[in-house]
Homo-oligomer: A and B are copies of this chain.
């Protein structure tokens, strides 16, 4: 049985060992710049830990795990470019350190690398894993598209927001777990339960992330609070507030929304409206409901309780983090 930190150590070693071309350096350096950053690497860990629910030999799940981590970092490279985000894990993002064209092309090479890794999965499972991988990758693109479209809309429904989060963020956690379980030899039913565990956990995690951005402890989250408000991001809080606000509050929110020149005053105004509309309680309740649903799916998984304890612990950590 392996622990979360065992899985991280395994992944780090394997990432360093990928036998991939290094020339032209202008194409591949940005790929390994992102891959070698200190990241949480939760996704590949989920794959290995899900495999370990059923099999002592998690090495067979290493290539799917690396494929997910590589794909995740590909999305970061292209998303940072599209979102004009200058920093990634405290370092310059690829389009800032290099340039926009590099972020496009090295991202493409990285997506292809992810496919080359999934192709190295155990042969009998490779076609199914490839299908899961492509379906998930497609959904993640759809989620990013909805996210970008929401920027220009003020009538986003809560269920639309949650569907966007499901596509952009949550399906990947479900697919990471499912692919590991497939390699470990899980039943179809367990694979489906783990997929639902991952997606509901992912939605809960994103809503908690929206809450943390405004109400987290700046020391623990490593940045000042209110960043999402300052950049006008459509979070669960803002979507909920716009849906519940009376005409006056709605007009106030909308008038602030397009202003980028504002600081603490904007944050204070949003917080006041959020507090008056109880959207924090709404978000916490929705987050907990999703977390409970996730745990409900996971409890039904037919693996030994001591092995499941590692993933129960990881899920609890994800919900507790930096709050």
Q: Which of B24, B82, B107 contacts A149 (CB 8 A)?
A: B24
B112 touches A138 (CB 8 A): yes
For A238, the chain B residues whose CB sits under 8 A away are: none
CA distance A131 to B130 in the complex (A): 12
Nearest Cβ distance between residue A254 and chain B, in whole angstroms?
23
| Most B Cβ at <10 Å: residue of A78, A111, A113, A141 | A141
Tally of A interface residues using CB under 8 Å: 35
Mark interface residues in A241-263 (1 if CB within 8 Å of B CB, else 0).
00000000000000000000000
B127 touches A104 (CB 8 A): no
Mark interface residues in A66-110 (1 if CB within 8 Å of B CB, else 0).
000000000000100110000000000000000001001101110
CA distance A144 to B26 in the complex (A): 11
Is A146 interfacial (CB-CB < 8 Å)? yes
For A113, the chain B residues whose CB sits under 8 A away are: 138
Q: Is the interface of A mostly helix, strand, loop or mixed?
A: helix
For A111, the chain B residues whose CB sits under 8 A away are: 108, 111-112
| Most B Cβ at <10 Å: residue of A27, A127, A131 | A27
Nearest Cβ distance between residue A134 and chain B, in whole angstroms?
5
A145 touches B105 (CB 8 A): yes
Of A10-18, A32-40, A115-123, A223-231, the one touching chain B:
A115-123
For A23, the chain B residues whose CB sits under 8 A away are: 142
Q: Known interface pairs A24-B149, A137-B112, A141-B27. Does A104 touch B130 (Cβ–Cβ under 8 Å)? A: no
Is A222 interfacial (CB-CB < 8 Å)? no
Q: Which of B26, B127, B141 contacts A105 (CB 8 A)?
A: B141
A105 touches B123 (CB 8 A): no
Is A269 interfacial (CB-CB < 8 Å)? no
Q: Which of B78, B131, B149 contacts A26 (CB 8 A)?
A: B149
CA distance A107 to B112 in the complex (A): 13
Is A313 interfacial (CB-CB < 8 Å)? no
A119 touches B145 (CB 8 A): no
* Chain A interface residues (CB < 8 Å from chain B): 21, 23-24, 26-27, 78, 81-82, 101, 104-105, 107-109, 111-113, 115-116, 119, 123, 126-127, 130-131, 134, 137-138, 141-142, 144-146, 148-149
12 A-B residue pairings within 8 Å (CB atoms): A21-B142, A24-B149, A26-B149, A78-B104, A105-B141, A105-B144, A109-B142, A111-B111, A112-B134, A115-B115, A119-B130, A126-B127
The 9 closest A-B pairs by CB, nearest first: A27-B145, A82-B101, A109-B141, A112-B137, A24-B145, A116-B134, A119-B130, A112-B138, A115-B134
